[in-house]
A and B are shown apart, each in its own frame.
Chain A
Amino acid sequence: GENVEQHPSTLSVQEGDSAVIKCTYSDSASNYFPWYKQELGKRPQLIIDIRSNVGEKKDQRIAVTLNKTAKHFSLHITETQPEDSAVYFCAASNPNQGGKLIFGQGTELSVKP
């Protein structure tokens, strides 16, 4: 089955710097890759997603890139702000397995003012 590895597990940056979180997946048939943000004590919320027919997607300060050949995808946050501090989860979904999401281990991002 699908396996998703996420790195780093913790990331600390200064306000204004960029942050990059990387995930690799094992199942080449996976075709949907969402990123969720979970603030302390709150529910995970989708912040951006990408499907396998595109290589990059951007939404204001966040972007996701996908390399299907290497089976990895990354989240990029530019001009980080303290409110970006949260745990970020990547996930991969294989339509041949009912589309269930397999999550990475999570990255705890801390943005220091």
Chain B
Amino acid sequence: ETGVTQTPRHLVMGMTNKKSLKCEQHLGHNAMYWYKQSAKKPLELMFVYNFKEQTENNSVPSRFSPECPNSSHLFLHLHTLQPEDSALYLCASSQDQRYEQYFGPGTRLTVT
């Protein structure tokens, strides 16, 4: 349960704020992912990093900016978000992109 951690667990921000979500994995994995989970919708892949290099940007608006300083840490920088960006943001990691993904507990984001 502690293999992938995310902070904060809950975040409320205004549309003009700038905030960052943090993910850390302690599993020695090389791939990390950001997903968005909205109510009644499937998990939406946002970004993929493999060995610190971004390999996927799934047409995500530029108000979401990922950063992967090393294989253990992944950030999602948020600025000028919209109310429809309110969702659960999940981080995941895997040994590489062909293997099982382990999810973090998520950050519940509310944009007011």
Task: List residues of A whose CB falls within 8 A of some B CB.
Answer: 4, 6, 32, 34, 36, 42-46, 49, 89, 93, 95, 98-106
- Docked pose: A44 CA to B1 CA in angstroms: 11
CB neighbours (8 Å) of A49 from chain B are 100
In the complex, what residues of A have CB within 8 A of residue B48's CB?
Answer: 98, 100
The answer to whether B97 touches A104, judged by C-beta atoms less than 8 angstroms apart, is: no
Q: Does A45 lie within 8 Å of B42, measured CB to CB?
A: no
Q: How many Cβ-Cβ contacts under 8 Å join chain A to chain B?
A: 45
Q: Which residue of B lies closest to A6 (CB)?
A: B42
Instruction: Judge whether A98 and B55 touch: CB under 8 Å.
Output: yes
Assembly CA distance A45 to B4 (angstroms): 12
Q: How far is the CB of A7 from chain B (nearest CB, A)?
A: 13
The reply to whether the CB of B45 lies closer than 8 angstroms to some CB of chain A is: yes
Residue in chain A with minimal CB distance to B35:
A103
The residue from B42, B56, B100, B106 contacting A100, defined by CB atoms under 8 A apart: B56
Min CB distance, B91 to chain A, in Å? 10
| 27 A-B pairs (CB sep. < 8 Å) | A4-B42, A6-B42, A34-B100, A34-B101, A36-B103, A42-B105, A43-B104, A43-B105, A44-B43, A45-B103, A46-B102, A89-B42, A89-B43, A93-B98, A98-B48, A98-B50, A98-B55, A98-B56, A99-B96, A100-B45, A100-B56, A100-B97, A101-B45, A102-B45, A103-B42, A103-B43, A104-B42
